[in-house]
């Protein structure tokens, strides 16, 4: 393709509201154009990348046996009322009325519609398993859309939904999607990790996020460099210390710690390592009656080591916490501990409070904690001697780099990542709500077992940039680059020789199936080079009169420090080899 028949539009400066690098570079490279908050036009350069992402997704979904269909953007509210999501979902679900005042929604996902299709079409066990997917425009009315297409309101998503006869079948469908996703992300040419993720209210253990590695990612990914272990930090297990609890060696002593309300401050004052301190966190769970009124509250004391952080997802899974929890109010804290926050501890609490200790805390001896008196802590505290053993010992903290891997195969490391895909076992959540059943071999109705599998197509594009860029612009992996090769002729409009060779090479590369753009805009070399470095095309070929006289072209990969001179008759083979490597 020639640039004159395409549309190239770059900006020197990104707009001020572009906070993250992918947003800035997508705006500057002319890939997107803002239409409203979180709503973007995908400009020709951006659409080419999106289409390449979609094509890879589609090929691998089909290869995995999923069947493509297309479900509507505007969906009747009735189905969303069947599952209760029409009322339960917040304002991120965009609701609209038609001319007859009937309720509709703009789809954020399509569980309801696909389950409606399944309950009508998949009536017999012989029709199962089946996996339907579509690649379609989605809308989520985010409270604060930002970061360009990373957290937009309108976006493109591939969402697939599997239907199986039983849990074993669902696990096989899940595994097939997991493998397909690995092929998809391999083909994108991105560094990624498939990490075990929390399954939330659904339960079960089948949930993985596909995270593109990027320093700017919002998610913390825990992995073991010497094994396959990888999990979202929400889920990653912190093992109990391998060493048993040491014996007490110190007496318990009241230490004045005026104004020192954090573990770090106390450790500093006392000249002790932070790891010897214990942090006290007071949580509360409310008991409600059928009308939703609070009829009782339980206060809990959670203990983690001073250098550790509470993992709120793990806390949510503690016995008694299933209906939700909150941090206790200052009034509740003072009522139970007789003391303001900052000096709390598990020793000699004025009112009985359930104590839940993290595994690390349970293994400590001679530790430091608050004294339940203002401006005072206790040192040399020991379980069993100074206070009862904790009511419950559990994993309630975030892992740290260097912690042992749960699979016993090394120590953990932590990376940042951007979640761009999610595979999820749904069980019968939707099939039960919508009575999506099939007749089994014995003619008995059974609920379908479901899974759902999403890839944020437009988010993949942004994540790819967060991972692959430098100070000059984007650095695309070949598979999803808008063009694989750009030809930059110097003097295309003046030199017959340059024009002839540029045209010939363009046609020759295109004939080999290489996605090539010939920049015939007539821009100065500096402008031309800066544009294509910004846009991030993997290979650039420069043609000039001088080079042609010597029978040579200049070839430069986007990450290369310098150009390489290549004899004319070797260019096509060299390009093909470079792109394949």
Which parts of this chain interact with a copy of itself (CB under 8 A)? 5-7, 9, 33, 35-36, 39-44, 47, 50, 65, 67-76, 91-92, 94-96, 98-99, 104, 106, 113, 116-117, 120-121, 130, 132, 136-137, 139, 141, 143, 153-154
- SS3 (DSSP) at 421: strand
| Of 21 and 117, CB closest to a copy of itself | 117
Sheet containing strand 376-381, strands side by side: 253-256, 376-381, 367-370
Rounded to an integer, what distance in angstroms lies between the CA atom of residue 480 and that of residue 56?
A: 9
φ/ψ of 491, rounded to 5, equals: 85, 35
The least CB distance from residue 121 to a copy of itself, in Å, is: 6
CB neighbours of residue 290 within 10 Å: 5
CA 112/CA 96 separation, integer angstroms:
17
Considering the complex, state which of residue 156 and residue 405 has its C-beta at the smaller distance from a copy of itself. 156
> Judged by CB, which is closer to a copy of itself: 137, or 564?
137
Give least dist CB 128 to a copy of itself, A: 12
DSSP 206-221: -EEEEEEE-TT-SEEE
What does the radius of gyration of the chain's CA atoms come to, in whole angstroms? 30
CB of 48 to a copy of itself, least distance (A): 9
Q: Give the span between the Cα atoms of 83 and 283, in whole angstroms.
A: 31
For a copy of itself, give the closer residue by CB, 105 or 575: 105
Query: Among residues 71 and 233, whose Cβ is nearest to a copy of itself?
Result: 71
Rounded to a whole number of angstroms, the minimum distance from the CB of residue 41 to a copy of itself is 5
Nearer to a copy of itself, 4 or 329 (CB): 4
Q: Which is nearer to a copy of itself, 6 or 321 (CB)?
A: 6
> Whole-angstrom Cα distance, residue 436 to residue 438?
7
- Least Å distance, CB 534 to a copy of itself, is 16
Residue 372: strand, helix, or coil: coil
For a copy of itself, the closer CB: 480 or 541: 480
Whether 241 contacts 269, CB under 8 Å: no
State the minimum distance, in angstroms, from the CB of residue 109 to a copy of itself.
15
**Which residues does residue 203 pair with via DSSP β-bridges, in sequence order?**
none
**CA atoms of 253 and 236, how far apart (whole Å):** 36
Minimum distance from residue 93 beta carbon to a copy of itself (Å)? 10
Beta carbon of residue 498, minimum distance to a copy of itself (angstroms, whole number): 21
- Give the CA distances from residue 187 to residues 52, 112, 181, 452, 480, in Å, rounded to whole numbers and listed in that order: 11, 31, 10, 21, 9
Q: Determine how many CB atoms are found less than 10 A away from the CB of residue 9.
A: 13
């Amino acid at each position: 393709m020639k640039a004159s028949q395409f549309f190239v539009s770059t900006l020197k400066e990104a707009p001020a509201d572009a906070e993250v690098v992918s947003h800035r570079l997508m705006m500057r490279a002319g890939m997107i154009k803002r239409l409203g908050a979180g709503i973007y036009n995908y400009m020709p350069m951006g659409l080419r990348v999106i289409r390449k992402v979609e094509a890879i997704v589609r090929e691998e979904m089909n290869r995995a046996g999923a069947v493509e269909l297309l479900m509507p953007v505007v969906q009747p509210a009735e189905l969303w009322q069947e599952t209760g999501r029409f009322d339960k979902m917040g304002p991120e679900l965009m609701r609209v009325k038609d001319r007859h005042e009937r309720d509709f929604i703009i789809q954020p996902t399509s569980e309801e519609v696909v389950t409606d299709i399944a309950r009508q079409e998949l009536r017999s066990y012989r029709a199962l398993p089946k996996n339907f997917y579509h690649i379609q425009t989605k809308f989520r009315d985010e409270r604060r859309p930002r970061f360009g297409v990373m957290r937009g309101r309108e976006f493109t998503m591939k969402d697939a939904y599997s239907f199986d006869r039983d849990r074993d079948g669902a696990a096989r469908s899940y595994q097939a999607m997991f493998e397909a996703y690995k092929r998809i992300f391999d083909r994108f040419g991105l560094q990624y990790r498939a990490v075990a993720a929390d399954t939330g209210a659904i339960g079960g253990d089948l949930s993985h996020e596909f995270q593109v590695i990027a320093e700017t990612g919002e998610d913390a990914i825990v992995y073991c460099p010497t094994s396959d272990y990888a999990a979202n930090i929400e889920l990653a297990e912190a093992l109990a210390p391998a060493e048993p609890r040491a014996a007490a060696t110190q007496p318990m002593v009241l230490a004045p710690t005026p104004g020192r309300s954090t573990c770090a401050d106390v450790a500093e004052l006392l000249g002790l390592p932070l790891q010897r301190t214990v942090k006290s966190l007071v949580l509360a769970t409310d008991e409600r009656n059928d009308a939703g009124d609070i009829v009782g509250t339980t206060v809990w004391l959670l203990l983690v080591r001073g250098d550790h952080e509470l993992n709120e997802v793990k806390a949510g899974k503690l016995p008694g916490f299933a209906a939700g929890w909150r941090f206790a109010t200052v009034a509740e804290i003072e009522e139970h501990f007789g003391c303001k926050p900052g000096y709390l501890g598990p020793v000699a609490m004025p009112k009985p409070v359930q104590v839940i200790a993290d595994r690390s805390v349970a293994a400590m001896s001679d530790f430091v904690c608050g004294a339940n008196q203002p401006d005072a802590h206790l040192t040399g505290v020991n379980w069993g001697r100074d206070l009862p053993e904790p009511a419950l010992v559990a994993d309630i903290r975030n892992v740290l780099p260097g912690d042992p891997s749960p699979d016993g195969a090394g120590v953990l490391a932590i990376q940042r990542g951007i979640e761009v895909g999610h595979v999820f076992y749904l069980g019968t959540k939707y099939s039960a709500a919508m009575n999506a059943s099939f007749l089994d071999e014995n003619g008995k109705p059974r609920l379908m077992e479901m899974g759902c599998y999403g890839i944020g197509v437009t988010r993949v594009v942004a994540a790819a940039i967060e991972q692959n860029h430098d100070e000059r612009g984007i650095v695309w992996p070949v598979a999803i680059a808008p063009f694989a090769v750009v030809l930059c002729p110097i003097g295309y409009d003046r030199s017959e020789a340059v024009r002839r060779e540029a045209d010939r090479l363009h046609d020759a590369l295109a004939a080999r199936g290489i996605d090539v753009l010939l920049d015939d805009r007539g821009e100065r070399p500096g402008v031309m080079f800066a544009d294509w470095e910004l846009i991030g095309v993997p290979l650039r070929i420069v043609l000039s009169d001088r080079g042609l006289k010597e029978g040579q072209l200049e070839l430069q990969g986007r990450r290369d420090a310098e150009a390489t001179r290549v004899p004319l008759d070797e260019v096509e083979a060299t390009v093909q080899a470079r792109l394949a490597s």
